[in-house]
Chains A and B, each alone.
Chain A
Amino acid sequence: EAGVTQFPSHSVIEKGQTVTLRCDPISGHDNLYWYRRVMGKEIKFLLHFVKESKQDESGMPNNRFLAERTGGTYSTLKVQPAELEDSGVYFCASSPGGTGRTGELFFGEGSRLTVL
């Protein structure tokens, strides 16, 4: 069974440009999460999808960030325009829905974003 996959693994862009990160969760997982880790700091929650609906987006930093989950499958996180402080590693995770939830999340390898 394929795990959570993220693309790209590393992106280097200039301030003011746009970047789109993609996450493919484990097939059948209703829950999809985005997190961000700035160098050496805690992994911060950004938002949570249940299928195609945003369940909780309280962690989104500002309106330069837009997340979508088309048809309840893969998800994209767009940063437009990017600022220097957006640099970090963006993690995507997924988990089963309903009674399959145990609190365990399954993570991708992360997308490292560097804004110059």
Chain B
Amino acid sequence: GNSVTQMEGPVTLSEEAFLTINCTYTATGYPSLFWYVQYPGEGLQLLLKATKADDKGSNKGFEATYRKETTSFHLEKGSVQVSDSAVYFCALTLSGGSYIPTFGRGTSLIVHP
């Protein structure tokens, strides 16, 4: 079956530190990959996505590259801010399928001033 594995949190960083949140996946077929973010008191919202191998998704200073050879989609940001504190979820959908995302367990990020 399809699954997404994320690194366990919480990840605690100081402001302006470099961020990496690891995500690997298992899928039958050719998935599209997503990062969603949930800020405190809000619903999940799409942060970025990539639909094929070697694509790079980017938004708000965050980036992730779809690596088919390592089945990974790691989230990175060069300099985090306190406002980036949130829970980050990696997800996949199968192209041409039902578009029902399979999510990871989420990684909590805490950024201190």
CA distance A111 to B32 in the complex (A): 28
A42-B103, A45-B100 known; A109-B41 Cβ under 8 A: yes
* A: interface residue count bin: 20 to 34
Closest Cβ of chain A to B57, distance in Å, is: 12
| B32 close to A103 (CB less than 8 A) | yes
Q: Which of A14-22, A33-41, A62-70, A77-85 contacts B (4 or more CB under 8 A)?
A: A33-41
B43 within 8 A of A: yes
Chain A residues within 8 Å of B42, by CB: 109
| A103 close to B93 (CB less than 8 A) | yes
| A104 close to B49 (CB less than 8 A) | yes
A107 within 8 A of B: yes
| B101 close to A103 (CB less than 8 A) | yes
B4 within 8 A of A: yes
* B: interface residue count bin: 20 to 34
Closest Cβ of chain A to B24, distance in Å, is: 13
Chain B residues within 8 Å of A44, by CB: 103
B98 within 8 A of A: yes
B49, B98, B103: the one contacting A35 at CB < 8 Å is B103
A41, A95, A103: the one contacting B105 at CB < 8 Å is A41
| B98 close to A110 (CB less than 8 A) | no
CA distance A101 to B100 in the complex (A): 11
B46, B49, B93, B103: the one contacting A43 at CB < 8 Å is B103
Closest Cβ of chain A to B7, distance in Å, is: 13
Which residue from chain B places its CB closest to the CB of A42 in the assembled complex?
A: B105
A40, A91, A103: the one contacting B34 at CB < 8 Å is A103
Chain A residues within 8 Å of B105, by CB: 40-43
Chain B residues within 8 Å of A105, by CB: 44, 46, 101
Task: Point out residues on A near B: beta carbons under 8 Å.
Answer: 3-4, 31, 33, 35, 37, 40-45, 48, 55-56, 91, 93, 95, 101, 103-110
CB pairs A–B below 8 angstroms (20 shown): A31-B99, A33-B100, A35-B103, A37-B106, A42-B4, A44-B103, A45-B100, A45-B101, A45-B102, A48-B98, A55-B98, A56-B98, A91-B44, A103-B51, A105-B101, A107-B43, A107-B44, A107-B45, A109-B43, A110-B43
